[in-house]
Structure formats: structure tokens, C-alpha cells
Amino acid sequence: DTGVSQDPRHKITKRGQNVTFRCDPISEHNRLYWYRQTLGQGPEFLTYFQNEAQLEKSRLLSDRFSAERPKGSFSTLEIQRTEQGDSAMYLCASSLRDRLSNTGELFFGEGSRLTVL
């Protein structure tokens, strides 16, 4: 396993279009996170999954955003009716947290950069 992978790496779209990003976490990791990062800022938490259950969503995640993690494996983040303010890097991360492993460390992918024209 080579780590967290994200696809596509770059996406340019016109305002109003829908886009979908995919994240494949490290295979044994039970937690998966989506973050958004804009230029010059730290990553901001959007949502996270424990296995297939979406347990928390940030207020940053408007109704136009939806995330899924079917079967607790890969995850998708869809943005509907994109706006120019959605332009950002979308980062996926995964972690393993159970009775034996509680380091709190997140492993990040390289991100999917979205540009909305």
C-alpha cells in the first residue's frame, strides 16, 4: 500500500457544474477525513467517517457538498452547483484508531485542486 491517493489531482470547471473527488485511504485505516485548504491557510476540517458512517460534518460543509464512504473503503466528495468560492485544495486523510492504536496521526493524500471559473 502506497498511502492515501486522491483523484483527480486537478479539476477546472465552470461555475454551476458538479464535480466529484475520490479518495482511497490506506487499506487498514478505519477513519477517513476531508479537509479544505485555501492559499495561505491551514487545512479546515470538513467531515469525517468511521468505517462507512459519517460521524461529523463541519458547518463549512454547505448543502451543496455531500460525502460518502460506501462499505468503509474509498470515499467521494461531491460539490454541486460549484461557486468560485469553492476553489481550493481538497485534502483527504486517513487514520487508524482502535484500542491498540491511538496515536492520532493522520496520513494525508496529495490533494485535489479545484478551480472554478
Partner 1 sequence: AQTVTQSQPEMSVQEAETVTLSCTYDTSESNYYLFWYKQPPSRQMILVIRQEAYKQQNATENRFSVNFQKAAKSFSLKISDSQLGDTAMYFCAFMPNSGYALNFGKGTSLLVTP
- H-only helix segments in 40-107: none
Run of H or E residues at 107 = strand 107-108
Q: Return the range that interacts with partner 1 (CB under 8 A); candidates 44-52, 59-67, 69-77, 78-86.
A: 44-52
The residue among 14 and 99 lying less far from partner 1, judged by its C-beta, is 99
Cβ(24)–Cβ(4) below 8 Å: yes
Going by C-alpha positions, the residue among 2, 62, 67 that lies closest to residue 33 is 67
What cell numbers appear for 48 in the block? 469525517
Does the protein bind partner 1 through residue 108 (CB under 8 A)? yes
Does the protein bind partner 1 through residue 56 (CB under 8 A)? yes
CA torsion sign, 63 to 112 to 94 to 20? Answer: positive
Does the protein bind partner 1 through residue 110 (CB under 8 A)? yes
11-40: contacts with partner 1 (CB under 8 A) = 31, 33, 40
Does the protein bind partner 1 through residue 91 (CB under 8 A)? yes
Among 20, 45, 54, 76, binds partner 1 (CB under 8 A): 45
Going by C-alpha positions, the residue among 67, 86, 95, 96 that lies closest to residue 14 is 86
> Which residues in this chain contact partner 1 in the complex, by CB under 8 A?
3-4, 31, 33, 40-45, 48, 50, 55-56, 91, 102-111
